[in-house]
Amino acid sequence: MRAIVVVAIVSFALFAHRDGCAATRQRPATAMRVDGDWAMPAHDYATTRFSPLSQINAHNAVRLRPRWTFSTGVLGGHEGQPLVVGNTMYVVTPWPNVLYAFDLARAGYPLKWKYRPDVSATAIGTSCCDSVNRGAFFADGKIIYNLLDGHTVAVDAATGREVWKTKIADVGDGETTTMAPLVVRDRVIVGASGGEFGIYGWLKALDLHSGRIVWTAHNLGPDADMLVRPGTFKPPYVSGTELGTRSWANSTWKRGGAPVWGWISYDPKLDLIYYGTGNAGPYNPEERRGDNRWTSSVLARKPEDGALVWAYQFTPHDSWDYDATGAMILADLDIAGKAVHALVHFDKNGFAYTLDRATGRVLVAAPFTHVNWAKSIDLENGRPVLNPAKATGISKGNVKDICPSLEGGVSPASPAAYSPRTHLFYTSTNNLCMDYAASHVAYLKGTPYIGVTSPYMAGPGGKLGAFIAWDAATGRMVWKDKEPYPSWSGALVTAGNVVFYGTLDGWFKAVDARTGKLLYRFKVGSGVVGNPISYVGPDGRQYVAVYAGIGGDWALLAGDTRSDDPADMRAPADFMKDIARHTSQGGIVWIFAL
For the bound state, the minimum distance from the C-beta of residue 566 to other proteins, rounded and expressed in Å, comes to 7
Q: How far is the CB of 571 from other proteins (least distance, A)?
A: 5
* Annotated catalytic residue, options 44, 79, 175, 196: 196
580 contributes a contact to other proteins by CB under 8 A: yes
Looking at the Cβ atoms of 318 and 512, the one nearer to other proteins is: 318
CB burial of residue 288 (10 Å; 0-12, 13-18, 19+): buried
Sheet holding 542-548, edge to edge: 65-71, 588-593, 542-548, 533-536
- Alpha carbons 509 and 493: distance in angstroms, whole number: 12
Any residues with CB less than 8 A from the CB of 90 and at least 6 apart, and which? Answer: 82, 83, 84, 99, 100, 101, 102, 136, 138, 143, 157
Binders of other proteins among residues 278 to 297 (CB under 8 A) are none
| 359 DSSP 8-state letter | T
Distance CA 351, CA 410 (A): 10
Find residue 193's DSSP bridge partners: 176
One of 24, 122, 210, 216 touching other proteins (CB under 8 A): 122
Is 1 or 571 the residue whose CB approaches other proteins more closely? 571
In whole angstroms, the minimum distance from the beta carbon of 559 to other proteins comes to 5
Q: Tell me if residue 196 is catalytic.
A: yes
Query: Of the candidates 66, 73, 125, 268, which one interacts with other proteins according to CB under 8 A?
Result: 125
Tell me which of 117, 160, 516, 572 binds other proteins, using CB under 8 A: 572
Query: Interface with other proteins by CB under 8 A: which range of 155-163, 233-241, 426-434, 435-443?
Result: 435-443
Judging by DSSP bridges, how do beta strands 272-276 and 162-167 pair with one another? Answer: unpaired
The CA radius of gyration of the chain, in Å to the nearest whole number, is: 22
Please identify, using beta-carbon distances, which residue of 137 and 200 lies nearer to other proteins: 200
CA 198 – CA 447 distance, rounded (Å): 9
Q: How far is the CB of 548 from other proteins (least distance, A)?
A: 21
Q: From the candidates 321, 347, 471, 481, which is the catalytic residue? A: 321
- The yes or no reply on residue 1 touching other proteins (CB under 8 A) is no
Distance, in Å, from the CA atom of 103 to the CA atom of 489, rounded to the nearest integer, reads 26
Written as one string, the DSSP assignment of 184-218 is: ETTEEEEE-B-TTTT-B-EEEEEETTT--EEEEEE
* Among 128, 208, 377, 528, interactor with other proteins by CB under 8 A: 128
Pairing type for strands 111-115 and 452-453 reads: unpaired
3-class state of residue 387 by DSSP: coil
Q: How far apart are CA 220 and CA 564, in angstroms?
A: 40
CB of 122 to other proteins, least distance (A): 5
Residues numbered 528 to 567 that lie near other proteins (CB under 8 A) are 556, 559, 565-567
Closest CA to 112 of 80, 147, 143, 148: 143
Closest to other proteins by CB, 332 or 578: 578
Label the pairing between strands 50-51 and 492-494: parallel
- Residue 444 in the binding site for other proteins (CB under 8 A): yes
**321 catalytic residue (yes or no):** yes
**The binder of other proteins chosen from 126, 297, 414, 494 (CB under 8 A):** 126
Nearest to 3 by CA among 54, 63, 64: 54
Q: Does 400 bind other proteins (CB under 8 A)?
A: no
What binding mask, one character per residue, do residues 192-211 give for other proteins by CB under 8 A, x or -? ----x---------------
Q: How far is the CB of 485 from other proteins (least distance, A)?
A: 9
**Is residue 447 at the binding interface for other proteins, with CB under 8 A as the rule?**
yes
The reply on whether position 523 binds other proteins by CB under 8 A is no
Beta bridge partners of 433: 457
Regarding 105 and contact with other proteins (CB under 8 A), the answer is: no
Member of 117, 448, 538, 540 binding other proteins (CB under 8 A): 448
- Provide the mask over 149-188, with x wherever binding to other proteins is found by CB under 8 A and - wherever it is not: ----------------------------------------
Within positions 465 to 494, which residues make up the interface with other proteins, using CB under 8 A?
484
Query: How many of the other CB atoms lie within 10 Å of CB of 123?
Result: 23
- Which residue stretch of 98-106, 290-298, 326-334, 444-452 sits at the interface with other proteins (rule: CB under 8 A)? 444-452
Residue closest to 131 by CA, chosen among 139, 115, 142, 120 = 120
- Residue 219: active-site member: no
Binding residues for other proteins (CB under 8 A): 121-130, 196, 439, 441-442, 444, 446-450, 453, 484, 556, 559, 565-572, 577-578, 580-581
Task: Enumerate the active-site residues.
Answer: 196, 279, 321
